[in-house]
Amino acid sequence: MSAPRRWPRWLYSAALYLLSPLVWRRVWREHALTNSRWERLGLLSRSPASGPWLWLHCASVGEVQAARPLIEALLAHYPRHRLLVTTMTATGAERVHALIEARRRTGEPERLAHRFLPLDYPGAAKRFVARLCPELAIFFETELWPNLLTACRRRGVPTAVVNGRLSPRAFRGYRRLRPLMASALAQLDWLAAKSRGDAERFRALGMPATRTDVVGSLKYDLTPDDAASEQSKRLCTRLGSRPVWVAGSTHPGEDERLLEAHARLRQSYPNALLILVPRHPQRFEAVAELCRERGMALARRSRDEWPDGRTGVYLGDTMGELLMLYGAADLAFVGGSLVPVGGHNLLEPAAMGVPVLTGPELANFADVAETLRQGGALVEVRDSAMLADTLVTLFLDEAERHRLAEAGLAVVAANRGALARTMAGLEQLLPGE
């Protein structure tokens, strides 16, 4: 492998140092009580237990959830190793700690740990990699950090990007930084792209074709665990026969439209219930206040409040329960799609056997949306008015709801296999035990 040019990374590092006040302001807010802020500088406040270590980096809660099958497979395939999962966000940290606690409750050995990813300063990256000394570094989706990749290369740590995703919009932004991206991609030993289009965009940025494979999306390998399925059934039973729909991973400007659609739905179904789950926990209070302003009787899950016959909105203001809440509904709308965010994971409700609805903004999941569309398992709406009309139509048509649910499950089942292909590729970098 030829040595990458150094000057793009030097310029990048200089810019990062110049922007340090802004970077630290953001980091200071992204805090979890379980972790020290000094981890952002590669200073592991509590040194991980003795290795050997595997390292997986996921940006936030969505990536951690999507990576759960991979986490379980790594722990099973490398029984001598411990696995460190790093995140950038506090919500991601909370999700990893929930996985750790779930393993502890089942009596599993404590082989899973969490730390915050160090900021990509050269010194912090070098310090983190030297202290952890992983035998394999895995980055999920589009997490390309030039100094961390360089630190891994210099210590001889093999690196891989799995579930590699690069949307057309992200590609346009990265293309302006092509020398830096080419330098970063040159450090990678393997890129497992989730689609041919993603692979082509990575190659256009400088990723060698000889180290790139298309393996499919790990999101299709999501299998709801028995606990989540059982919780969904209990919640569904308790909610009774009233029409229930869930809107998950919602964003500012979208909640208002969803509440408008729900108000119109309740003109036809006065006892209809919306389970509303904002994407970010810092918005829980604001969304609760918005519901009250719209005159919706509200119950909050975090306070153990239960929706009665008058309740219009059940606010899912907890972490790590979205999959379970999807499974308790008759219909599921996936947020980030009525506003220009690019959508979120359409496969989560599909895997729970719930019909999937979405808005038009699907840039981040265009390939998944197309697969669901071809399988007749996706309902698309333009705006809140069309969403309300669609909800009314689907609540009237139980047979169509059943068809959509079965079609979604079939699409998920037909496209599984990325996990096995990903694990086979990783074994080329680090043989199994």
63 flagged as catalytic: yes
Rounded distance, CA 157 to CA 149, Å?
A: 9
Which residues in 18-54 are b (16+ Cβ under 10 Å) and which e?
Answer: eeeeebeeebeebebeebbeebbbbebeeebeeeebb
Q: What is the 3-state secondary structure (H, E, C) of 304-369?
A: CCCCCCCCCEEECCCCCCHHHHHHCCCEEEECCCCCCCCCCCCHHHHHCCCCEEECCCCHHHHHHH
Rounded distance, CA 55 to CA 71, Å?
A: 10
CA dihedral over 322, 113, 67, 118, signed as positive or negative? positive
Q: Pick from 413, 296, 414: which is nearest to 351 by CA?
A: 413
Decide if 203 contacts 181 (C-beta within 8 A).
no
Rounded distance, CA 209 to CA 300, Å?
A: 50
- Chain centroid, CA 345 distance in Å: 7
* Active-site residue, selected from the candidate residues 63, 72, 143, 348: 63
Q: What is the 3-state secondary structure (H, E, C) of 196-214?
A: HHHHHHHHHCCCCHHHEEE
Q: Which residues are the active-site residues? A: 63
